[in-house]
Structure 1
Amino acid sequence: MFLTQDLPPEVRPVMSDLKTVLEEIARLNQSKIKVTYLDPNKDQGAATEARNYGIQALQFSSVKSDKFEVQTGYFGLALVYGEKSEVLPVASDVGNLEYFLMSAIKRLSSDKIPAVALADENSSETQILRGVLGKSYKFSSAAIGGNSPLPAEADTLIIVDPKSKFDEKSLNKLKEWLKSGKGVIALVDKVGVDQNLRSTGISQSNIESVWIDYGIEIENKLVVDEESAIANFQSQNGSFITRYSYWPQIRPENINPNIPALSGIDSLMLAWASPIKLSDDKVQTMFSSSQKSEVDDSFSDLSPEKQFNAGANGEKRVLGVIRTEGVKLAVIGDSDFIKDQFVVSSRQNMNLLLNLVDYFSQETDLLSIRSKSLKSSPLRAIPEGLKMTVKGVNIAAPLVILVVSWLVAKMLRERSKKDFG
């Protein structure tokens, strides 16, 4: 561990967390795991060693003697195993330090690293996903269409927002991949939505024929849910914050705890998700919307001002499924949830995808570690009637207290007059 003592305040919480995790890991096997702290600012040899590992010095401002000074410091971690080494970018919070540490240790000590391929037609929207996959696995890009084969070394293929119509040869390529025992994680937007919250219509991709054969069909509808995420919108009168019914917030009671890939996942946030229809009992539901949800099959008004009340028509809608009997296949009726815009505000979205990769790659021992990352526990939506009651009580309570206090004081004064009158 290359660590300078006088680091800026914003880095210290991560530094403290990292030290704690390193101590816990070292205690697991003190004879084989050794943690060493080096300060390159005090040891020129340590500075040279840090540079050899590719760890660069950090520059930050500090105030000394009422003057701003630019200082140089180090905060980097190199894992060394024999002749192999790996550097982790610990200067910024990577989300789950313990998971990335154990994942890196596993890569260094293992002869085989799980390989994953990503097929996304718009890679500019999945830069965070690509970065995380590159840190955790042997990563490569893939194309379902065309004459190029899918990466032979990959164990799992992630498909994000397929829009193309594929020829029979390309579809057969994907079918053969599944038949060979390799995994597929498909994240599909069945109904497109543009930046102006207007529907761009139903996807014309024919890729769904691959998983229809396994009893999975994504419907041409959008789920609207009272248990929804809060979003910030712009209007002519400025910005405003509100619950957006087209962004379902998946709560713990609607997540299947019996599936190992959902270990530690207690909250997800989807965007413009479509329900999934199952026609084979070998398919398991991973998660669903709340009982207060229904479907929209017109897409005529996707604005946040639209009033929605499921009422008696409300019921749970399946949004993510998995099949592991005879095939490794997971399908989610939304791809936006893993794109850069959304994954930064819902870390467990990323955890779910990585869990699925590990599950299909048989790396199940890492699932419980990743689940220790920061969890989101969304508040349950409060009925309007209860909101008004609570608001009324909050307004009335101070007045009641004042009146009661005045009455008590008056009674005490009158009693005092009688006693001394």
Structure 2
Amino acid sequence: MATQSIEGRAGGGRVTWVVVLIALSVLLNYVDRGAIGVAAPLMKEELGLSATGFGLAVSAFFWVYAPACLFVGWLCDRFCVYRVFALGVAIWAISTALTGFAGGLVSLIILRLFLGLGESIAFPGSTKIFAAEVPAERRGIANAAVAAAIAFGPAIGVLAGGAILGEWGWRPVFWIFGAVTLLWLIPWQFAAASMRARARAVPASERVSIRRLLRVPALWKMSVVHFLSNYGFYFLLAWLPLYLVNTRGYSIGEMTALTTLSFTTQGVVALAGGWLSDRMVAKGANEGEVRRWLMIAGQLAIGTATAGIAIADGYAMLALWLAVAGFGAGLIATNIFAVGQIFAGPRAAGSWMGVQNALGNISGIVGPIVTGLIVDYLGGYGYAFAAAAALSLLGALLWWKLIPEIRTLEL
């Protein structure tokens, strides 16, 4: 039976616990997704991967992740989103653990495909739940919790993964990360129980089809800016550890400290930006315009910082530019999903974010391969940093000129 959460909103305390657990799942999502970047300095050598081969392995995640978002978003609007969410987490946790047994490029790619399938639940699922359960004046902090998790996930992943990597090698990184994610399913079963029980059937007349959504210009425009915001973030997430160790000559410890600084800044800014935007909305500010200008600021910051990282001279300047990149990424991650929730409304939030996230994550398919080819055939990272910076700055321009009035649409 097709189901939809929600008839009325759940109590504030219950929603808070669900938001916290969703944020925790996203944190684990990015710990597990980014583990390949942390493990890269040792994994790449042991498995005999070229830069192009490593780029293919990173990209493989998105071959399934992006198109699966379309299907998963549809599932979230028609079935119990809480059960779909748990299934996705289980798939990605098992895939992460099994990556520790990879013996070469082929097995690594296969496991990255399954990881992408499981992790595709994160944003269509969270968007569906937030749009249905979280009021507008709390939308910023709910999405900020997820945005902070996007930041702290890589930071924790780099710290924990770096320690495991240095002590035991790259394979235990995946075994331990996968096991921890499986444990998340236990509190989720209890926290979401009452919401699962309140799920009700969705009349066919109230459903919004993917075909109908694809005729909405705002969805295509949001997908374009989502692509541009993701390109720069994924570039740094996947390639920064390798660049710092192999090209700039920093130790694994120094790489860990630099990347952790960036991700920690991102998390703090995400929480502060979410709180501030909610305060502004509660005092009567136009929510859509608040989030538009925060997105513009975020794109400008990460674009400028990406260029700065490439030319930074010395550890201190690298740290400064990585902090600026974290600032920009924190603003972007807080607002990109909140704007999608506003446009779609509760009825179509899962499907809308499924489409937006699928198209936006095409950058994760093409970006790592393009970067790998640039490094292998153009002799270094310079052009790769230039491309990522330019695309981020283009995103700022399009948020200003392309995105229409941000309001809930009649779908």
TM-score by length of 2: 0.23
**Structure with greater contact order relative to length (CA < 8 Å, sep ≥ 6):** 2
What is the TM-score when the length of structure 1 is the normalising length? 0.22
Structure number having the greater helix percentage: 2
Structure with greater strand percent: 1
